[in-house]
Amino acid sequence: MAASATPDGAEVAVERIVIENAAIATVDADDTEYASGHVVVAGKRIESVGAGRAPEGLENVVRRVDATGHLVTPGLINTHHHFYQWITRGLATDHNLFNWLTALYPTWARIDEQMTYAAAQGSLGMMARGGVTTAMDHHYVFPRGSGDISGSIIRAAAEMGVRFTLARGSMDRSEKDGGLPPDFAVESLEGALAATEETVKKHHDASFDAMTQVAVAPCSPFSVSTELMKQGAELGRRLGVRLHTHGSETVEEERFCHELFGMGPTDYFASTGWLGDDVWMAHCVHMNDSDIAAFARTGTGVAHCPSSNARLAAGIARVPDMLRAGVPVGLGVDGTASNESGELHTELRNALLINRLGAHREAALNARQALRLGTYGGAQVLGRAAQIGSLEAGKLADLVLWKIDGIGHASIADPVTAVVFGAAAPVTLSLVNGRPVVEDGRLLHADEDAIARSTRDEAQRLARIAAGS
């Protein structure tokens, strides 16, 4: 019988949850699947996964779930987001990236702790309802006097019950330096590095079952000085945390890098210490063969954001070529000002469909590759593939039961195809560390109606402040 130890060394029985009669896609190294199988959760971890019913004689079973009509998968893992944008959705809807940023930065530069907390609740709630068990937020806007923004985001994630990575961002290249953000919305080089280090030391948890981790994340080449890029990489490696930034998102960015640095984005990243197996980049739309080879050679990961790339007319990332080269690739919602749905499970479908518009056409991605991007691929990108991303004994019990016997899916014979190609499948149960977070499509640890009201109120307050500036 599984047991855990109390601080005084006494053993206590671990509570078990038994899930049976489900189709299961483990997303392990062999893509093992079961037409009808079981998952046994013991405490925070998966104890067993297999065909048929669960073993007899299990002790301390506190819950049995008859998952007939469901597909069980690893929980979805979001690898790129900007939570604060939840309260600026639906604006600048016909802009490319640089024009969109120019239009929205004056508003974003007026956010505060209260706004950011509400926006984080909205972003996290929408993702969790759609099967996300590990979320991340790349936050880089810290207006002077705005309060404890990082703390508010981490608090919202803890209250929601999801696993979380905060990519503590920064900007020090403002309008006066040729950047896009207003001058009062950026930090100094020294201030950004000091605040980032403080956030890591205060909040980062390196343990196996960590619920909160922190990455060092200067925003982008066009909003960050070269010195902040270099010193940010050095800081992250000294502290033993991962590195994240935006890269190769648009043709305008490529032009900017050539004009300012005399080289393309990938070469610039290499020159500043930003390629490596502890690094992941958002977007990576405009990558040539040499760029992809450099990412593969160094183990640099990619957060693929298909809906945002389409919304901002950035282009089609070469995901099939990246995967064939061995580049780790996960999926990202991106900020909800460029992906208003705020959901990751729809990105499984969009990744597959949009990549089929590219050079590889129907051979670009299949349903199981799309599911892997959203699960194990995301775990690789966040540096947590040993703990999450697949359903295997010993891994953390982050998993989702998708209901596929309803009108939207019942006529699709293959369960994985139903979830990826079909309509957004309802989530009957979502577990994080073996703890229920969503049941029957509703959040268990947050009031959805209250979140809707607070995000509306904070969006309106921000709009009033921005209009009066």
* Contact (CB, 8 A) for 350 and 331: no
| CA distance linking residue 246 with residue 249, whole number of Å | 7
Is 20 inside a domain boundary?
Answer: yes
Rounded average pLDDT over 274-289: 98
| CA distance linking residue 57 with residue 130, whole number of Å | 34
Rounded average pLDDT over 242-258: 93
Do 217 and 106 reside in the same domain of the chain? yes
> Does residue 180 carry a pLDDT above 80?
no
Rounded average pLDDT over 76-97: 95
Q: Which domain holds residue 14?
A: 3-74+396-443
pLDDT digits (tens, 9 = 90+) for 387-400: 999 999 999 999 99
* Contact (CB, 8 A) for 322 and 331: no
Question: 130 falls in which pLDDT band (50, 70, 90)?
Answer: very high
Give the count of domains, the chain.
2
What is the predicted pLDDT for the residue at 8?
59
Do 230 and 373 reside in the same domain of the chain? yes
Do 435 and 375 reside in the same domain of the chain? no
> Could you say which of 381, 411, 427 is where a domain stops?
381
Is 425 inside a domain boundary?
Answer: yes
pLDDT above 90: percentage of residues in the chain? 89
What is the predicted pLDDT for the residue at 1?
38
What is the predicted pLDDT for the residue at 177?
84
Rounded average pLDDT over 170-189: 85
What is the predicted pLDDT for the residue at 358?
95
Q: In CATH, what number is assigned to the domain containing residue 437?
A: 2.30.40.10
pLDDT digits (tens, 9 = 90+) for 209-226: 999 999 999 999 889 999
Do 70 and 213 reside in the same domain of the chain? no
Do 28 and 114 reside in the same domain of the chain? no
Least confident among 51-65, 202-216, 249-263, 387-401: 249-263
| CA distance linking residue 210 with residue 204, whole number of Å | 9
| CA distance linking residue 127 with residue 451, whole number of Å | 13
Do 15 and 81 reside in the same domain of the chain? no
* Contact (CB, 8 A) for 46 and 397: yes
Do 302 and 333 reside in the same domain of the chain? yes
Is 97 inside a domain boundary?
Answer: yes
pLDDT above 70: percentage of residues in the chain? 97
> Does residue 347 carry a pLDDT above 60?
yes
What is the predicted pLDDT for the residue at 5?
56
Q: In CATH, what number is assigned to the domain containing residue 184?
A: 3.20.20.140
Q: Which tops the pLDDT comparison, 179 or 203?
A: 203
Strand ranges inside 43-171, DSSP E: 45-51, 61-66, 70-74, 76-77, 132-139, 163-170
Rounded average pLDDT over 53-65: 97
What is the predicted pLDDT for the residue at 13?
85
Q: Which tops the pLDDT comparison, 356 or 176?
A: 356
What is the predicted pLDDT for the residue at 222?
86
Is 469 inside a domain boundary?
Answer: no
> Could you say which of 354, 381, 408 is where a domain stops?
381
Do 91 and 225 reside in the same domain of the chain? yes
| CA distance linking residue 367 with residue 370, whole number of Å | 5
Surface-to-core class of residue 190, CB atoms within 10 Å of its CB (0-12 exposed, 13-18 middle, 19+ buried): exposed
> Does residue 192 carry a pLDDT above 50?
yes
User: CA–CA distance from 225 to each of 216, 231, 295, 297, 460 (Å)?
Assistant: 15, 10, 22, 26, 33
Do 359 and 306 reside in the same domain of the chain? yes
Is 461 inside a domain boundary?
Answer: no
Do 20 and 138 reside in the same domain of the chain? no
Do 126 and 24 reside in the same domain of the chain? no
Is 155 inside a domain boundary?
Answer: yes
Rounded average pLDDT over 119-123: 98
Is 201 inside a domain boundary?
Answer: yes
Do 262 and 330 reside in the same domain of the chain? yes
Is 450 inside a domain boundary?
Answer: no
Question: 102 falls in which pLDDT band (50, 70, 90)?
Answer: confident
pLDDT digits (tens, 9 = 90+) for 143-178: 989 999 999 999 999 999 999 999 999 999 988 887
Arithmetic mean of pLDDT over the chain: 95
> Could you say which of 327, 358, 381 is where a domain stops?
381
